[in-house]
Structure 1
Amino acid sequence: MIQKYRQAFNAAFTAEKYQQFLQELGKGFPEIPFRVAETPIFIPAALQEKLIAAGEEIIALIKQPNFKELTQKSIPAEWNVPNETGHPHFLTFDYGLCKDENGAVVPMLIEMQGFPSLYGFQTHLTHTFKSVFGIDEQLSPYFNGLNQASYFDLLKKVIIGQYEPHEVALMDLDAPNQKTAIDFFVTAKHLGIPVLALEEIKKEGKKLYYEKDGQKIQLKRIYNRLIFDEIGENTAIFEQSFDPREELDIEWITHPNWFYRISKYTMPFLQSKFVPETHFLHTLKTIPSDLENYVLKPLFSFAGMGVIIDVTPNDVAQIKDPENWILQRKVTYEPLIQAPDAGVKAEIRMMYLWPEGEEPQLCINLARLSRGKMIGVRYNKDFDWVGGTVGLMEK
């Protein structure tokens, strides 16, 4: 994308150096179960400006006084958690890199979440890319003048706040064995907070505790990485720990309801040149005649599960709950990232932190490379120059 960096990186790249990079990346951590790409993306200033502008338009909607009213039906009744906060603490917006009618690179919104992403791992990934491949030090994954130190200061303010690190825990189902566990451990290393599986947290009255070295420690905050979709109907798991849907003496960072409010459900409310035409399926009076130009997505799924790419009238007719689906105009990813043998498609996730009493701040990014029909891992098996990476920009 920034040609001088792309050409220099590709010219110096070797398979041996990539293996060294992977070894360094995993040193001191459990094995990384997802594929990390061979290269970062070098984001030019013009694209950076468009990504920032697209995010500002979305945030304007989220900050509207009626946003909660607009999105109230997004929260499944069985997963509504009490004591919701006034705003989320994390925002992540995923954009496919495309070309407009004039041939200019343009980001198009694919997905959005009011839920944390790999806020720790992306710093570690950047550092390892730079140290192994000798990437120019003036290239940075950070926005708004942040560097690694000031970024972690902000992350600490959002996640730990006024509490002591031992009073705040990163929590997920079977946390140490999640696919994103390396992000958990990098975060814990920098912030000093424990990483706890759901089942390690116990309830007494309305208070939550965990044990360490035989001592019972009360939790004041949970840095929540638990997605309720992963639990499904297996709610018996709460009997061994606690039920998040109960009234509890705990602060959520971020509150679980925001996972639903800021999601595919939000996209039909957005009108922007950076957002593909999107409709709730049940609101359409007539189904478009050119269904081949649309994708059908379930509202309540994650990681691309259930998405129908090549839509037919029969697919639409088979949907029994159209209020839980969106029909979205297809986005054509452009193979803009030059691998040694061909162009590769890319998606960039813009990652924001939103401290209490302040404005949301764009901080860092995540990127994914793809040669498959979709971006996800299962669509890119047996390919190289695909997988998770990071976008680097000139300071």
Structure 2
Amino acid sequence: MDAAARKSFNAKFTDEKYRQFLTDINKGLREPIPFRLAETPIFISDDFYAKLLQAGNDIIATIQQPNFKDITERAIPDKWWVANENDHAHIIALDFGVCRDDNGELVPKLIELQGFPSLFGFQAYAGEHYTQAFDIPKKWSGYLGKLNKNSYLKLLRKTILGPYQPEEVVLMDVNAPQQKTAVDFYITQDYLGIPVVSLSDLIQKGDELYYEAKGELKRIRRIYNRLIFDEIESDPDIFNKVVDIRQPLDVEWIPHPNWFYRISKFTMPFLQGDFVPKTQFLNKVAMIPDGLENYVLKPLFSFAGQGVIIDVTPEDIGLIKDPENWILQEKVNYEPAIQSPDGGVKAEIRLLYLWPDGDEQPTLAITLGRLSKGKMIGVRYNKDFDWVGGTVAFVKK
């Protein structure tokens, strides 16, 4: 992390600036932001950014292997397999913890990866507000590579809209207005002009999908998919009440739901490198390693950290009935590398890639950051702390 930028930011920080930041960022939104925003952005040093880029490039290379679909076919649960899958994920998210290696240097370590959208609208919006509220020097930006706001939004439109008009593309989630990420949905709507719909709003005629707007039926050509099947799994009759989106339909997906499973924890055992923790499918572990306290057990088919066993014992492993659906992963120890007024804070940085049709490679576009003083990253572990929560990570342009 950039020491000079941190020292300068902390010296100028006041609680009043933070309160004004929260007032301004909520101004004009449909509802107040429902999650905590941290008091500070993350300032990534040039050295750490170079490591992030290398780590990301290595992972992207694995995803682009010709046999990637073959090795990840088992990742998709049969009941959630969706027809008409395309040839690549339009969106990729890579989560890295800020850690310290054996040489004492800060390094990124992969925590998780997703072939699924993140807060592409909100992060652009939040970056602007952090910059304005805290007078961040212009040399720092949340847009990566050669992107600025205009070129970023152009790339976002190219990825999500493609050749279609905004009214032909919908952002869809199971119950969109009630999601904690709804703030991102409506900012994205403002940026791109696309409607936000719920799963129950979809209307099927033959193999075509429609939604209603001002009393008229509008044809859906593309779905910007924000629905995670875990969120509807508790209702086995869901597709008796709404359109069964798994069937062959004359609609394009951005990204296709199958990529949520292909690019996921399931991918971890196929990755290697200095920035990837050693990971094995549990059923492939020939001998339980010594020092189990240095490992975590993760179920492959769970969402938002549910079911993860942090302090692993041999008894935990023995109780697992489906080891092919679990991974044993080397524990990643976050370094409290962000200096707050009362001590170090742990950080996680998400690299967000956009991969529109016609592009040979995904483009690293923007970041998402999360700060934590708790045992794990996440709201439930940080309820009583300050200088924690969602943020952006800035790099020098």
Query: Which TM-score applies when normalising by structure 1?
Result: 0.99
For residues 385 and 337 of structure 1, what CA distance do their matches in structure 2 show? 10
Cα shift at 1:241: 2.7
Cα shift at 1:64: 0.7
For residues 178 and 121 of structure 2, what CA distance do their matches in structure 1 show? 17
Match of 1:243 in 2: 244
1:359-378 to structure 2, matched below 5 A, reads 359-378=361-380
Match of 2:11 in 1: 11
Match of 2:390 in 1: 388
Query: Per-residue CA shift, 1:134-171, capped at 9, x if unaligned?
Result: 11122101112100110000000000010000000000
CA contact (8 A) 1:203 1:241 kept: no
Mapped pair 1:109 → 2:107: no
- Secondary structure of the residue aligned to 1:87 is coil
For residues 129 and 293 of structure 2, what CA distance do their matches in structure 1 show? 42
Cα shift at 1:12: 1.5
Question: Between the two proteins, what is the percent identity of the paired residues?
Answer: 59
Cα shift at 1:235: 4.0
Query: Per-residue CA shift, 1:56-88, capped at 9, x if unaligned?
Result: 101111111111110000000111111111000
Cα shift at 1:357: 2.2
Amino acid at match of 2:25: L
Match of 1:253 in 2: 254
Amino acid at match of 1:377: V
Amino acid at match of 1:384: D
Cα shift at 1:343: 0.5
Amino acid at match of 1:164: Q
For residues 49 and 15 of structure 1, what CA distance do their matches in structure 2 show? 33
For residues 115 and 80 of structure 2, what CA distance do their matches in structure 1 show? 15
- Bigger Cα displacement from structure 2, 1-10 vs 100-109: 1-10
1:245-394 to structure 2, matched below 5 A, reads 245-358=246-359, 359-394=361-396
- Secondary structure of the residue aligned to 1:123 is helix
1:175-186 to structure 2, matched below 5 A, reads 175-186=176-187
Cα shift at 1:172: 0.2
Amino acid at match of 1:136: P
Cα shift at 1:376: 1.1
For residues 163 and 274 of structure 1, what CA distance do their matches in structure 2 show? 39
Mapped pair 1:153 → 2:154: yes
- Secondary structure of the residue aligned to 1:316 is helix
Match of 2:56 in 1: 55
Query: Per-residue CA shift, 1:44-67, capped at 9, x if unaligned?
Result: 111111101001101111111111
- Secondary structure of the residue aligned to 2:351 is strand
Moved over 3 A (4+): none
For residues 67 and 391 of structure 1, what CA distance do their matches in structure 2 show? 30
Amino acid at match of 1:318: L
- Secondary structure of the residue aligned to 2:120 is coil
Cα shift at 1:244: 1.2
Unaligned regions of 5+ residues in structure 2, if any?
none
For residues 87 and 235 of structure 1, what CA distance do their matches in structure 2 show? 29
Amino acid at match of 2:375: K
Query: Per-residue CA shift, 1:94-149, capped at 9, x if unaligned?
Result: 00001111111100000000111011100111101111111112210111210011
Query: Which TM-score applies when normalising by structure 2?
Result: 0.98
For residues 216 and 263 of structure 2, what CA distance do their matches in structure 1 show? 38
- Secondary structure of the residue aligned to 1:39 is coil
Cα shift at 1:240: 3.4
Query: Per-residue CA shift, 1:222-269, capped at 9, x if unaligned?
Result: 000000011114143333331111111110000000000000000001
- Secondary structure of the residue aligned to 2:301 is coil
- Secondary structure of the residue aligned to 2:62 is helix
Match of 2:90 in 1: 89
- Secondary structure of the residue aligned to 2:333 is coil
- Secondary structure of the residue aligned to 1:94 is strand
Amino acid at match of 1:18: Y
Amino acid at match of 1:130: T
For residues 31 and 239 of structure 1, what CA distance do their matches in structure 2 show? 34
Match of 1:27 in 2: 27
For residues 220 and 271 of structure 2, what CA distance do their matches in structure 1 show? 38
Provide the aligned C-alpha RMSD in A.
Answer: 0.9
Unaligned regions of 5+ residues in structure 1, if any?
none
